[in-house]
Each structure stands twice: as C-alpha cells, then as structure tokens.
Amino acid sequence: MEHAKATSVATTCYHCGEDLPVHVYETDNKLFCCAGCKSVYEILASNNMCNYYAYNQAPGRLSEKAAGRSSEKESGLRYLDEPAIAARLIDYQDKENTIVTFYIPAIHCSSCIWLLEHLYRIHPAIYNSRIHFIKKEVTLSFKQAEVSLREVVHILSSIGYEPLISAQDVVKENAKAIDKKLILKIAIAGFCMGNVMLFSFPEYFGITDLESRFRALFGWLNLALCLPVTFYCGRDYFVSAYNSLKQRRVNLDTPLALIIAVLFIRTALATVLNSGPGFADTLTGLVFLLLMGKWVKQRTYHHISFDRDYRSYFPIAVTTLEEGKEKPVEINALKVGDRLWIRNGELIPADSILMKGEGWVDMSFVTGETDPQQKVLGEIIYAGGRQEGAAIEVEVVKPVSQSYLTALWNRDYHRENAGQNFNDTIAKYFSVAVFVVSLAAFGYWMAQGDSGKAWAAFTAVIIVACPCVLALSTPFTLSALLSVFDKKGFYVKNTDAVEQLAQCDSLVFDKTGTLTSTAKASIAFSGTLNDTERKMLASLLQHSAHPLSRHILKSMRYDGFYPLSDFKEVTGAGIQARILEHTLYVGSKRILPEGLNLPDTQGVHVVIDKTYKGTFQVQQEWREALPELMQTLQASFTLSVLSGDHAKDEKTLKAIFPAGTEIRFQQSPGQKLDAIVEKQQKGRRVMMLGDGLNDAGALKQSDFGVAITDNINNFTPGCDAILKGDSMALLPRFHQMSKDGLKIIKMSFAIATAYNLIGVFYAVQGTLYPLVAAVLMPVSTITIISFTSIATRYFAKKNKLI
C-alpha cells in the first residue's frame, strides 16, 4: 500500500494566517509574513510559550497589525510615566503591588486568554493576570518596583495585544454598571419570598383545629423573614421618600414606602396579637418584584446610555500638522504624539503640551473661569480649553476622551427655560392622586363596615397605580432617539434637547459656513501683492479659523511664515497683527483703520499700515440641494436668514428660499442675538443653524442651537447639537423623528393610563388581591419597555434613519 505522503508547503503566515508575500521571514522552520509576526513569535519562543499556537490556527490574526507598530510606540508611551495620568488608569496601588485593567480589542480566541494569563513568563513581575473575554479586558497585578506601567503596556504591545487606552473610561464605567448591592437585595428578597410562600401554604389550604398550634409558628417565622426584607431590601424606598418629604414634596417612591411600612405593621400586629394571617406574602413578593423591575430598568438604561456616551463621538475635526502640512483629522482618530494647530477660538480636544506660540487658554468650558490662563512652552494644556489669540502648535500627550468632553458639555447645561418637562409635572400630581384615591376607598369600605375589604382596597390601589411609565418611557425613548441621530452625524447634547427640537417652529440660518460649504470656494483678487506681502498675509491668515481666512489661505502660494505679534481677531469684522514692523489688517471695512480711501467693492480687504493693497472676492460653494431642502422645511418651520456678509448673494438666496423669507445682511453677532430674542418674545421657538465660532451667542440664545461642522474645529458649549455638513439634508427627517419620539412617549402614557385606570377600578372594589397587584407591576414595566423599543425602531425605519 502506498501512502501518499502529503508534504504541505506553508502558504500562510504561522502567526497571523495572512498570505505569505514574496519575501518571507523565517525562523525555527516557520514562515512569517512580516517582521512584526516574526518578532512576536521570537518573544514567545524565547519564553517557552509556544503553547499559544497549540490552541488555534494562526492565533495572531487580529494582533499582528499592532505588533508591527510596537517599536515606534515605545516613545509614544511617555505619558504613562506621568503620575497624574497613571493614577487615572490604575484600579489599586499600594507599596508593592499595582492592579490595572486594560481594554484590549485584539482579544478574540482561547489562545489570547492563554497568552495573556501567562504573562509572568515574559516578565515575572507581572505576577497575576485575568481575562474577561466578553468585555475584552485584562486585569493585571504587577510589582511596580520591578516593572513600570509604561513597560507593562509596552510588553503588551510587543506581543500584539496593545491596550486601547483612550477607551479606559469605558473600562471604569463598565465596572460601575454591575450593581452588586442590588443583586444582593434581590437575592435576599427572593429567598424570603419563597420561604414565606412555603410557610403560608397551610394558611392558603386551611388549617384544621388539629394543626392550629402551628399557626403561631408559621406566623412568627413569616414575621422574622419580613424583617430583612423591610429593613434591608426596602431601605432605598424609605430613604428616598424621607428625603423627598423633607423637601415638602411627594415623589414616586413615597407611596411605595408607605405601602411597605403599612404591610409590615399590619403583619407584625397580626402576628403579635394572633389575629390573622398577616400580609407577609404580599410584602415580600412586592419588594422582590419592585427590585427586579429596578434591575431590569438599570440594565436596559445602562445599555442605551453607555452606547451614547462612549461609542458615539463628537463630529469635530482638528487641524493636525503632518510634516508642516495641515490636515484635518476627526478627534476620535487622533493619536498620542500628533501635532495640532489650534487657532483662535478653537477647542483643544485632548491633554497636550504647548510646543510653539503664545498660549492664552480660556478654561471656561472646564472650570467656568473666563480669564485666560497663560501657558509657557512645554506646559501641559488640559482638554477642553480654548485658545485665544494667535494660533499655537501643541503635541497630544493623552488620548482623546470623548466621554470627558461630553460630560463637560452637559455640565454646562442649565435649564434656561422655566418650563419643567412633562415628567416632573406629572410626577407631582400622580402620587398625591394615588394617596387620595386609596384613602377614599379605605374610608368608603370602613364606612360600609367591611374592614377587610378596606385594607385590601387601600393596599391594592397603591400598589397597582404604577408610575413606572414616567420613570421609564421618556428616558428610554429619548435615549434611543439620540443613538439614532448619532449614527447619522447629528450629535445632540442630551435627551432634554430632543424635546426642545420637537417644539421648534422657527428656523434661522446663518450663511457663511452653514448654507455654504467650507470645502470649496472660488477666489478672485483685485489688487497687487508682492512675494513678501503675500507671505505676510499667509502668516496672518493661518492663525484664523474663520472660513474665509481658510479659503484664501488655501488658494495662495507662499513659502513659509513670518512670526507675528499682537494678533487680534474681531468676530464679524476681521483680523490684524504686527508682522515685520508693519501692521496688517484683513477683513471687512469695520476692522480697517480710519481715513482710508477704499474702492466700493465688497469682500475681504487687505491693508498694510495705511496702504490699501487689494480685495479678495470669495465665492463659497453653496451646499447641494438647498432649494429642495428649504421646500421640505417650509412645511414645518418659518425660515429666515441672518448673514454677517453683505448683500451680494441676495439673488441666489432669494432663489433658494421660498418667497417671503426674511433675509437680513450685515448682521453683527449682537444683531443676530437680538433678532432671535425678538422672535422668542413673539412666542416662537427658534432653532438656529450656525457656525460654532462666530454665532456662539446666538446659538446659545436660541431654543435649539445647532453648530454645523465640515471637518473643522468649531465647537461651542452653548449649542445644543453638532450637525455634520453632509447630514444637513437629513434635517427634516431629524425634526420629524423628534416629533415622533414625543408621540411615542404620549402613546406609552396612554397605555399606562389605561392600565392604571383598569387596575384601580378593580382595586377600589376590594376585589383585587394585593398579591396580584404586585405581579401586575413588573408586567406593566416590561410592556412599556418593549413598546418604546419597538415603536422607536418602527419610526426610525419610517423616517429612513435606520
């Protein structure tokens, strides 16, 4: 018999499984596709860890890309030596040991688990490591005297398992999600409920005289089991009700706290006085089901809001400098070590070190303090600051934390409108109404002489009247809406803003940067500039973030920049600075010095000292499909345009907008603000679309302010949402979706009201067993959650947003 000897020739990399290129790397009779894979293999082989390859075919599949970069990354990890930053990452540290948890996206198979849990073989000071496979996290314990945090991260990178440190907040937040205390309470409540039911069986089935002495035994046991339930498991409700009553208010937990107390007292009295079976089964069942409902709420809400805070992102781009060339990069793609060019008014998105320029940083977004802080070269500037004055070059030292920026943004938020939202108004009256109805029922039945029914009615009414819809449907629906919007480039600040959006009936547009795209423009220059003057102009323009400055700079030829001093940018007017002993002015007539003889042309004027040099005519490209968009929007909004520009585009605007639209030109930022106030005083709800940098005041004043961004860094904390320029055409759909969201909330209110009315109807008659009422509560909770999820998906599909 001939054995066909199959000689397999390796055609794929032993480490990562990719096809081998023409030039292969070889070691130990194994072939690799690149130096990265080979180096990881060599590290593992030298530490006797080739078992890594035993469990899976080509286990380095996901991680080889990271391994290749590891050699460059060594210096990029400098920031981990900084104690303040390291402190934010580690979980625990004492004199000898440090425990840290990292999120490693490359974890995907059992080999990864094996390798990462045997890290002690690579460096014995990492004495313990534990993987959480689903969360892709590893928790390491190491002796900080023998290996530093930075070395640990470097080791992980070199074997292809680089931790994603910008997701560190994800790790921390995840740890908070699992509320062990609640689970403990549920376990104890469930235990007591089960045993109480067991001991209540004889009562249900009827005790004969022969067994009547056991009634006392079971009664006391039931009471004993009620104690931990009332005082430990039910504690939160008592605390919440007490705090609310201290403020002379009734909140949603007050009736629940009352009923738990009443049931407990009745059970205690019944047991001590031996006058009846007591309500132990209802009490324990109720507390158990309430806690279960709380748990379901927590899990679902955490899932939704987690998605929102940590996976979505600010659609802002900053200008990075790559070998001196400017390139806009979205902030979630920034890496440590990137050089950023931050202009006047722009946001610094991550902790960075000042490399060039004069740093005057306004930290009002972070600390509320408006006095700019001066920063020296080499000093660290924290994320959230805004540069004022000439532009600076900074180097990113810590990855961007979008959750941090979102948190800052929301911290700034106060309710400017006096109106509370729907939820709060209902909550006030609901509990009071519940008390009134239950006391009325109680009084009625007592008057009829049937005290048993009276108590049954009282407890059943309070239990069955479920306020869960108030606590559930609004946040769930609005959070689901937020995640739908985020995926389409419409980043809304928080759920309350969505309600504002739905109520808007007036829409105000800015022109430059909003209706016109900042991407392309055609530029014409009337005048003369020699090479030096052109270089001076470029040097000035590079410090300004205004769309016109950017366009002009892009169109010019220049070689290098001059240093400048006394940079000043006046919003809506222009920029000026001192360069090479001259004062250079660029902008509209408002910024130019007095007494000049200027031609009548409109545009961006250039003046050096007292000599007029020329004017740039900038014709920005209009965005696509504007007339159609306005046509659709007109159905739900009154449109108007407030432009800081002069009236040269009046004809085009009149063609885009429907007849009779208010169009105003030459509006200063103050005038724009006043125009919005004027509309609001007429009772309109104003939504404004504008440029984050120049319209900051007007955006804040409007009921819903949207900053349009096209790969530029123009964030202002006063706005309620950021909209990507490409997504502007979806605006009518976003508005419709927010209105549908409110519809969903109202529908779920209707469902809940129906349920409550029917429930209360049976409860006041005393025919509803309190225990049955207790079961109906979680049923209604689940109904509402399912309804809002399904309805939101339905409407999102209908509005073509999914």
Partner 1 sequence: MNILYFLVGCSLLMALVFLGAFIWSLKSGQHDDMHTPGIRILLDDEKPEKSDLDHF
Contact positions toward partner 1, by CB under 8 A?
A: 51, 54-55, 110, 113-114, 117, 131-134, 178, 180, 183-184, 187-188, 191, 195, 199, 210-211, 214, 217, 221
| For helices 495-503 and 731-764, angle between their N-to-C axes, nearest 10 degrees | 110
Rounded least distance, CB 29 to partner 1, Å:
22
Q: What angle do CA 275, 281, 283 make, to 5 degrees?
A: 95
| Nearest residue (CB) to partner 1, 232 versus 558 | 232
Task: For 340, list phi and psi in degrees, rounded to 5.
Answer: -115, 150
Strand partners, 328: 319
| Nearest residue (CB) to partner 1, 113 versus 504 | 113
Rounded least distance, CB 287 to partner 1, Å:
16
Rounded least distance, CB 96 to partner 1, Å:
22
DSSP letter for 683, please. Answer: T
C-alpha count within 13 angstroms, C-beta hemisphere, residue 72: 8
Rounded least distance, CB 292 to partner 1, Å:
16
| Nearest residue (CB) to partner 1, 211 versus 326 | 211
Rounded least distance, CB 401 to partner 1, Å:
25
Rounded least distance, CB 271 to partner 1, Å:
16
Report the distance separating Cα 110 and Cα 106, nearest Å.
12
Residue 607 tokens read as 């003046």
| Nearest residue (CB) to partner 1, 46 versus 110 | 110
Asked whether the beta carbons of 722 and 488 are under 8 A apart, the reply is: no
Rounded least distance, CB 212 to partner 1, Å:
11
Report the distance separating Cα 273 and Cα 296, nearest Å.
39
Q: Closest Cα to residue 573, out of 591, 547, 586, 585? A: 591
Report the distance separating Cα 149 and Cα 163, nearest Å.
12
| Nearest residue (CB) to partner 1, 221 versus 353 | 221
| Nearest residue (CB) to partner 1, 112 versus 334 | 112
| Nearest residue (CB) to partner 1, 121 versus 589 | 121
CB atoms within 10 A of CB 599: 12
| Nearest residue (CB) to partner 1, 92 versus 429 | 92
| Nearest residue (CB) to partner 1, 277 versus 574 | 277
| Nearest residue (CB) to partner 1, 113 versus 796 | 113
Residue 249 tokens read as 């208010």
Report the distance separating Cα 491 and Cα 312, nearest Å.
8
Rounded least distance, CB 132 to partner 1, Å:
5
What is the edge-to-edge ordering of all strands in the sheet holding 126-132?
90-93, 97-103, 137-143, 126-132
Q: Closest Cα to residue 254, out of 267, 266, 241? A: 241
| Nearest residue (CB) to partner 1, 217 versus 598 | 217
The total number of residues shown for the chain amounts to 802
Buried b (16+ CB within 10 A) or exposed e, 483-522: bbbbebbbbbbbbbbbbbbbebebbbbbbbbbbbbbeebe
Report the distance separating Cα 418 and Cα 433, nearest Å.
25
CB atoms within 10 A of CB 699: 28
Report the distance separating Cα 314 and Cα 386, nearest Å.
16
Rounded least distance, CB 17 to partner 1, Å:
20
| For helices 180-205 and 213-228, angle between their N-to-C axes, nearest 10 degrees | 160
Rounded least distance, CB 164 to partner 1, Å:
19
| Nearest residue (CB) to partner 1, 96 versus 211 | 211
User: If DSSP codes are grouped into helix, strand and coil, which group holds residue 394?
Assistant: strand
Rounded least distance, CB 218 to partner 1, Å:
8
Residue 24 tokens read as 């292969």
Rounded least distance, CB 744 to partner 1, Å:
34
| Nearest residue (CB) to partner 1, 180 versus 414 | 180
Greatest alpha-carbon span in the chain? 117
**Residue reference for tokens 């004993």:** 224
DSSP letter for 623, please. Answer: P
Report the distance separating Cα 384 and Cα 362, nearest Å.
9
Residue 460 tokens read as 């059943």
Distance of CA 77 to the CA centre of its chain: 27
| Nearest residue (CB) to partner 1, 133 versus 204 | 133
Rounded least distance, CB 113 to partner 1, Å:
6
Rounded least distance, CB 134 to partner 1, Å:
5
Report the distance separating Cα 468 and Cα 80, nearest Å.
46
Report the distance separating Cα 540 and Cα 560, nearest Å.
12
Asked whether the beta carbons of 134 and 112 are under 8 A apart, the reply is: no
Cα first-last separation, the chain: 63
Rounded least distance, CB 740 to partner 1, Å:
37
| Nearest residue (CB) to partner 1, 221 versus 380 | 221
Q: What angle do CA 665, 669, 673 make, to 5 degrees?
A: 95
| Nearest residue (CB) to partner 1, 117 versus 326 | 117
| Nearest residue (CB) to partner 1, 17 versus 202 | 202
Rounded least distance, CB 44 to partner 1, Å:
14
| Nearest residue (CB) to partner 1, 106 versus 752 | 106
**Residue reference for tokens 């500039």:** 529
Asked whether the beta carbons of 157 and 67 are under 8 A apart, the reply is: yes
Rounded least distance, CB 302 to partner 1, Å:
15
- Helix (H) or strand (E) holding 700, with range, is helix 696-701
Rounded least distance, CB 402 to partner 1, Å:
26
Asked whether the beta carbons of 154 and 82 are under 8 A apart, the reply is: no
In one-letter notation, the amino acid at residue 481 is L
Strand partners, 132: 137
Q: Closest Cα to residue 599, out of 589, 610, 584, 587? A: 589
